[in-house]
Amino acid sequence: MSPPTTLLLTLDCPDRVGLLARITGFIAEQRGNFTEVNQYTDGISNWFLARFAFEIPTTSTLESVRRDFAVIAEELGARWELRDRAKPLRTVLLVSKQDHCLADLLWRWRSHELTIEIPLVISNHDDLRSSVEKEGLPFVHLPIEGNAAEKEGCFRRLADVLSEAGAELIVLCRYMQVFPGWLCAQYPNAVINIHHSLLPSFAGADPYRRAYDRGVKLIGATCHYATEELDAGPIIHQEVIKAEHFHTPDDLRRLGRDCEKLALARGVRFHVEDRIVVHGSRAIVFGD
């Protein structure tokens, strides 16, 4: 016997009395069996946000549930998504020269920890080709160089590659290029980036050495959605490790890599499992 189909429903809408009962009542009418329920009401904006995971009987389909719920969503004035939990997201990874985040995500993909399929890996350098191709994945070398107009053309080619790959999620694994605003807009809340916590205090070259010189006490990383404004998109997840007085600059770099790997992996996991609902500039995360 095949396992039951589990659907993930995420939504947000203005809060009102009886809202949760209306949604759960609909799922009960569909003979759905809840496996997880998460909800949050933002009291400042009076906004309701939720994530529901529920099994449907074999007599129902994703399409039929989606069709019927569309009526409810219109009534509630809700933004919503409904999808099959088992369907992998087509996820394109972008990387430059540092491989720690890429290697970690590839391990989690290979171990079936993340429900994703990776059609290809893109890099603006050729350094990591062998690491990617040994995983049986296509590697696309797409340099981003030249003056502003030439770089714009490079990003246009990158956009074509992403479109041809059918990308549903784009993960910047220490990809050291800034996505232009128009490209972020093509994939709203679907481009995930990572940066270390030393920004903006220690921007530029060798931030860990300058952090060491200042006696920084915390090392961390922030995973967020990419937007037109650099490193200012909704924050998905953050990791932090205490820095001790005996840590050398190399130790701080190692701790930073650990934070970056874990923050990015958890951020991708939350996105893939539809645990994030973006409300304005905030990412509401229903963690696991």
pLDDT tens for 42-74 read 999 999 999 999 999 988 899 999 999 999 999
Distance of CA 221 to the CA centre of its chain: 14
Which DSSP category does 227 fall into? -
Q: Does the pLDDT value for residue 144 go beyond 70? A: yes
Instruction: Please compute the mean of the pLDDT values over residues 66-89 and round it to a whole number.
Output: 96
CA angle 154, 157, 160 (to 5 degrees): 155
Which ranges constitute the DSSP H helices of 16-59?
19-29
The pLDDT of 133-162, averaged and rounded, is 95
Residue 200: pLDDT band (50, 70, 90) is low
Q: How far is CA 17 from CA 20, 40, 77, 197, 244, in A?
A: 8, 14, 14, 41, 51
**Where along the chain do its domains lie?**
5-84, 89-285
Higher pLDDT, 66 or 1: 66
- Which CATH number is correct for 89-285, 3.40.228.10, 3.40.50.170, 3.30.70.60, 3.40.718.10? 3.40.50.170
pLDDT band at 235 (very low <50, low <70, confident <90, very high): very high
Torsions phi, psi for 44 (to 5 deg): -75, -45
Fold of 5-84: Alpha-Beta Plaits (3.30.70)
Active-site residue among 42, 231, 251, 258?
A: 231
* pLDDT average, residue stretch 94-123: 97
Element housing 258 (H / E): helix 249-272
Helix (H, G, I), strand (E, B) or coil at 183: helix
For the segment 164-192, what is each residue's pLDDT rounded down to a tens digit? Answer: 999 999 999 999 999 999 999 999 999 99
| Mean pLDDT confidence for 23-35 | 94
User: Residue 196: its pLDDT value, please?
Assistant: 84
Q: What is the pLDDT of residue 1?
A: 58
231 catalytic residue (yes or no): yes
Q: Tell me the pLDDT of the chain averaged across its residues.
A: 94
| Whole-Å CA distances, 191 to 25, 104, 214 | 34, 18, 33
